[in-house]
Amino acid sequence: MPDQDLILSWIHTVVEATANVAFALSGLLAGIRKGLDLVGLCVVMGLAAFGGGTLRDVLLDRRPFFWVDHPTWLWVLIALGVAAIFFLRARDFEFTERAIQWPDALGLGLFAASGTQLALALQLPAIVSVLMGVVSATFGGILRDVVCNEIPTALRDRRPYAVCAFAGGWVYVLAVHFACPAGTAFLLAAAVAAGTRAWALLSRYELPAVRSAASGD
């Protein structure tokens, strides 16, 4: 169905662009918090925005990458970095780790849905498709945190993170299985992934930790 393919392509472009901006914002806040210069801000924003999607596309052998096919977003990131240097740092804003988590949650939900959709469109097994969604949703944040000399949130934060992306991916799979429209499936999956992450942040719910007997905890 060409119309369906056109709708999916349009939805993917919009979702990918929105997710890139959300993760770029999280990278911007993280970079400012670490006192990076303009080059550092642009690097961190680029890794956060495009890292997960690029790794997903490498694994799925998709070309061209989103940022190659839509180079305008590279200029958007540079503009954000310049604006941060000349505007945000001149004012009294508090760039806390918690502030970074909200755009990160939005990007997590959107990339989880987008990655799962792309893999399913290639007729990959459901579990592989969901894991592609998890890779898309988490790897950009991991690169952002590593460059900022932090243990990645996906690995140290006991509040659900990758689990949220995993749940959102399965929501997309189930929605497609029950013949939901493409847009509805996207919204449901993104809402579940981002919503469960937001709930975890607000409620401070934590997953059980694996404790070593030698640690004495």
Query: pTM higher than 0.85 for the full model?
Result: no
- DSSP characters over 81-94: HHHHHHTGGGS---
Choose among 103, 197, 112, 195: nearest CA to 157.
197
Q: How far is CA 104 from CA 8, 29, 73, 139, 175, in A?
A: 24, 10, 18, 12, 24
- Which range among 13-22, 27-36, 67-76, 187-196 has the greatest average pLDDT? 187-196
Structure token pair of residue 146:
């590593």
Going by pLDDT thresholds of 50, 70 and 90, the confidence category of residue 5 is low
Average confidence (pLDDT) over 19-40: 80
Distance between CA atoms of residues 146 and 137, nearest Å: 16
Average confidence (pLDDT) over 16-20: 74
Q: Are 175 and 184 in contact (CB under 8 A)?
A: yes
The gap between the terminal CA atoms of the chain, to the nearest Å, is: 58
- Which range among 75-89, 98-112, 201-215 has the greatest average pLDDT? 98-112
Mean pLDDT of all residues belonging to the chain: 80
Q: Which amino acid is at 180?
A: C
Distance between CA atoms of residues 166 and 88, nearest Å: 35
Distance between CA atoms of residues 26 and 28, nearest Å: 5
Helix 72-86 and helix 38-60, axial crossing angle in degrees, nearest 10: 150
User: How many other C-beta atoms can be found within 10 angstroms of the C-beta atom of residue 144?
Assistant: 30
- pLDDT of the residue at 132: 93
pLDDT over 60 at 17, yes or no = yes
